[in-house]
């Protein structure tokens, strides 16, 4: 017979994702932190992984990791067509890598597990920005320490801008009506420190405390105008559903890797770890007494808004944002790569295998589109949703269980949520050569081996 403690541990394990640890409501007492914008100088962007401490709780220093600062990172802003050098440096006292999630970058610069920087080492990553406007991100990827390093604060945004994006009438004043917003839940010790090993859950580490851009109990002050929120689920494992607390609609304008063809009206959107979405909330219909907030599926307050009525702008957003399409040709391509996601906890596999640094699982010709079919095989307990991510590419979701994907997924993606027993078909093309990871973006699943390697040749 199981002891109560063992039963509680079980609840805390596999079942925790269908019924996760509740999150605390944001009380809204702190203004949301805005990461600094970092643009190339003479083509160079300096990015340093470092350790430090941060006052997350009033009067208490929490030991944290960050890029170019003690916690989280800047927003790196680059432009399509630009030649850039990311000058990376590891000032941590442990090995790390710099992975550019969603960036179409040659394999040797991708920052996967092979590109380890030891403490004190530097590396110049040079590439030409080949993709269009999008909200991407970066984080570490060393085998065995990815989940913990992200948990301690290593994550930043990358904005790609292009010519098209300037003509669309989108809110684009950084920190005024255009905000990067990363959601991460954490478990703090009594001393208000991160203790990753204590919080660790092999099926995905979650916490009861939400940090938004690293801010505890955040609120965001906005004008009486249309505001663009670039949402990133930067959590290790928790899924976030975003709604407005009074049921109002908002518009989604972008997926992971670019704009939707047109703004899509939604009442809620769910992002699994690694996914992004850009949404527009029209605050012109609210006033300072409206008490509007972003909440999750059980109405936990994630981010309350304060409306500054002095600030009012009217913007008209273009009805046509992009020309994304899954072509007939792509639809008719045969499946040439089949992947089966399976397992739980420490035994999570892709096609029955766990990650091996020395094994290339697939090859694919650079520049050629192939159809990847990914099946999430349920287990006796039902299974889990896995956010499936591929490095070095933006792909198209061709179908989910044979059906056309919802409007929300009809855009460039690099991470797609796959529910138990679902089969998802992707049209995947690698614009560059090199070795790329594909994996579940629940970081503990990635660590436990739900990851493989494809070499674009
Ligand atoms: Cu967000 Cu392997 O990456
Ligand atoms: Cu990635
Ligand atoms: Cu997973």
pLDDT (tens digit, 9 = 90+) per residue, 203-248? 999 999 999 999 999 999 999 999 999 999 999 999 999 999 999 9
Mean pLDDT of 173-190: 97
CATH of 32-165, one of 3.30.390.50, 3.40.50.300, 2.60.40.420, 3.40.50.1970: 2.60.40.420
The CA distance from 95 to 105, in Å, is: 22
CA distances from 257 to 10, 152, 166, 322, 415 (A): 37, 26, 17, 12, 10
Distance 320 CA to ligand 3 centre (A): 35
The tens digit of pLDDT for each residue in 247-294 reads: 999 999 999 999 999 999 999 999 999 999 999 999 999 998 999 999
Output the residue whose Cα is nearest ligand 1's atom 1: 101
Please give the structure tokens belonging to residue 350: 């892709």
Q: Residue 19: its pLDDT value, please?
A: 60
What's the fold here for domain 178-308? Immunoglobulin-like (2.60.40)
Cα angle: 305, vertex 306, 308; to 5 degrees? 135
What is the CATH architecture of 328-456?
Sandwich (2.60)
Q: How confident is the model at residue 10 (pLDDT cuts 50, 70, 90)?
A: very low
Q: Residue 12: its pLDDT value, please?
A: 40
How many helical (H) and strand (E) elements, i.e. helices and strands, does the chain have?
6, 32
For 55-177, list the strands marked E by DSSP. Answer: 62-67, 75-79, 83-90, 99-101, 122-128, 134-139, 156-161
Count of residues making up the chain: 457
Q: Residue 21: its pLDDT value, please?
A: 85
Task: Round the average pLDDT of the chain to a whole number and report it.
Answer: 95
Cβ of 141 closer than 6 Å to ligand 1, yes or no, is yes
Atom of ligand 1 nearest to the CA of 391: 2
- Using the structure block, give the residue that is written with the tokens 């944002």: 321
- Using the structure block, give the residue that is written with the tokens 């204590």: 198
Tell me phi and psi for residue 189, to 5 degrees. Answer: -75, 175
Cβ of 274 closer than 6 Å to ligand 1, yes or no, is yes
Mean pLDDT of 15-37: 85
Three-state secondary structure call for residue 305: strand
Cβ of 439 closer than 6 Å to ligand 1, yes or no, is yes
> Is the interface score ipTM higher than 0.85?
yes
Closest-CA residue to 205 (of 215, 195, 193): 195
Distance 447 CA to ligand 1 centre (A): 11
Atom of ligand 1 nearest to the CA of 437: 2
The ligand placed nearest to the CA atom of residue 140 is: 1
CB 90 within 8 A of CB 124: no
The tens digit of pLDDT for each residue in 392-403 reads: 999 999 999 999
Cβ of 139 closer than 6 Å to ligand 1, yes or no, is yes
Q: Residue 315: its pLDDT value, please?
A: 82
Q: Residue 6: its pLDDT value, please?
A: 40
Closest-CA residue to 51 (of 99, 100, 89): 89
What proportion of the chain, given as a percentage, has pLDDT over 70?
A: 96
Tell me which of 4-13, 281-290, 302-311, 378-387 is least confident.
Answer: 4-13
Cβ of 391 closer than 6 Å to ligand 1, yes or no, is yes
Closest-CA residue to 244 (of 208, 314, 192, 292): 292
Q: Which H/E stretch holds residue 7? A: helix 4-12
Cβ of 389 closer than 6 Å to ligand 1, yes or no, is yes
The ligand placed nearest to the CA atom of residue 344 is: 3
The ligand placed nearest to the CA atom of residue 414 is: 2
- CATH 2.60.40.420 residue spans of the chain: 32-165, 178-308, 328-456
The CA distance from 360 to 433, in Å, is: 14
Distance 48 CA to ligand 1 centre (A): 19
Distance 451 CA to ligand 1 centre (A): 10
The CA distance from 300 to 313, in Å, is: 30
Say whether pLDDT at 145 is over 70. Answer: yes
Sign of CA dihedral 262, 263, 266, 272: positive
Distance 200 CA to ligand 1 centre (A): 19
Say whether pLDDT at 11 is over 70. Answer: no
CB 386 within 8 A of CB 450: yes
Mean pLDDT of 48-72: 98
Cβ of 99 closer than 6 Å to ligand 1, yes or no, is yes
Distance 230 CA to ligand 2 centre (A): 18
Distance 20 CA to ligand 2 centre (A): 25
Distance 2 CA to ligand 1 centre (A): 37
- Ligand 2 ion local residues (Cβ < 5 A): 101, 391
Closest-CA residue to 240 (of 189, 161, 159, 295): 295
Output the residue whose Cα is nearest ligand 1's atom 3: 101
Mean pLDDT of 60-68: 98
Atom of ligand 1 nearest to the CA of 415: 1
Distance 391 CA to ligand 2 centre (A): 5
Atom of ligand 1 nearest to the CA of 112: 2
Q: Residue 7: its pLDDT value, please?
A: 43
């Amino acid at each position: 017979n199981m002891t109560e403690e063992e039963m509680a541990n079980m609840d805390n394990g596999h079942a925790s994702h269908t019924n996760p640890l509740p999150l605390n409501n944001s009380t809204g007492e702190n203004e949301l932190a805005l990461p600094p914008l970092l643009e190339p100088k003479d083509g160079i962007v300096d990015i340093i992984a470092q350790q430090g401490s941060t006052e997350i709780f009033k009067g208490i220093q929490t030991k944290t990791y960050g890029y170019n600062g003690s916690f989280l990172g800047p927003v790196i802003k680059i432009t399509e067509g630009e030649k850039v050098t990311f000058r990376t440096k590891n000032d941590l006292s442990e090995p790390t890598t710099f992975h550019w999630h969603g960036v179409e970058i040659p394999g040797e610069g991708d920052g996967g597990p092979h590109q380890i920087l030891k403490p004190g080492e530097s590396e110049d990553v040079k590439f030409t920005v080949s993709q269009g406007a999008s909200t991407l991100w970066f984080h570490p990827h060393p085998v065995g320490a990815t989940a913990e390093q992200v948990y301690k604060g290593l994550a930043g945004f990358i904005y790609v801008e292009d010519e098209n994006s300037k003509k669309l009438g989108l809110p684009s004043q950084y920190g005024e009506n255009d905000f990067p917003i990363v959601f991460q839940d954490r478990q703090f010790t009594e001393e208000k420190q991160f203790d990753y090993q204590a919080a660790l859950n092999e099926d995905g580490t979650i916490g009861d405390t939400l940090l938004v851009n690293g801010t505890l109990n955040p609120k965001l002050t906005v004008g009486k105008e249309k505001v663009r929120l670039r949402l990133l689920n930067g959590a290790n494992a928790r899924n976030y559903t975003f709604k407005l607390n009074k049921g109002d609609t908002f518009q989604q304008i972008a997926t992971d890797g670019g704009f939707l063809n047109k703004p899509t009206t939604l009442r809620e959107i769910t992002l699994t770890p690694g996914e992004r979405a850009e949404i527009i909330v029209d605050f012109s219909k609210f006033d300072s007494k409206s008490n509007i907030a972003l909440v999750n599926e059980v109405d936990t307050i994630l981010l309350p808004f304060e409306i500054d009525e002095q600030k009012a702008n009217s913007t008209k957003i273009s009805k046509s944002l992009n020309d994304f399409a899954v072509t007939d040709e792509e639809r008719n391509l045969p499946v040439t790569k089949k992947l089966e996601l399976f397992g739980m906890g420490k035994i999570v596999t892709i096609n029955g295998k766990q990650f091996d640094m020395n094994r290339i699982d697939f090859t694919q010709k650079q520049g050629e589109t192939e159809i990847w079919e990914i099946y999430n095989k349920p287990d006796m307990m039902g299974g889990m949703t896995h956010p499936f991510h591929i490095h070095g590419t933006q792909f198209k979701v061709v179908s989910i269980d044979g059906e056309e994907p919802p409007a929300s997924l009809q855009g460039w993606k690099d991470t797609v949520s796959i529910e138990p027993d679902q089969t998802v078909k992707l049209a995947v093309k690698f614009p560059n050569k090199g070795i790329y990871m594909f994996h579940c973006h629940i970081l503990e699943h990635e660590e436990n081996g739900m990851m493989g390697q494809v070499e674009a040749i």
